[in-house]
Amino acid sequence: MAKGRSRGKRVHGDVRGKAKPAFEQVYDLVRTIPSGRVMTYGQISVMLEATLSPAAVGW
């Protein structure tokens, strides 16, 4: 693989043309999780239609 090229899926996703930046979407979703409930970074990524990888959600 060429030096400096990504080996996985895009971390930040393509957020151009969307109403909110990707991380703002994460914050909005996380605020809806009821107190005492647990949600994984992977579950959040799926709910955001994978605009962010699970690792990026937790970053």
Q: What is the pLDDT of residue 11?
A: 55
Amino acid at 1: M
What is the pLDDT averaged over residues 40-59? 89
Q: What is the pLDDT of residue 21?
A: 84
* Tens of pLDDT, residues 1-41: 556 555 555 555 554 554 678 889 999 999 999 999 999 99
Helices assigned H by DSSP within the chain: 22-31, 41-47, 54-57
Q: What is the pLDDT of residue 27?
A: 93
Alpha-carbon span 55 to 48, nearest angstrom: 13
Q: Is the pLDDT of residue 58 over 80?
A: yes
Q: Tell me the whole-structure pTM to 2 decimals.
A: 0.62
Query: Which of helix, strand or coil describes residue 28?
Result: helix
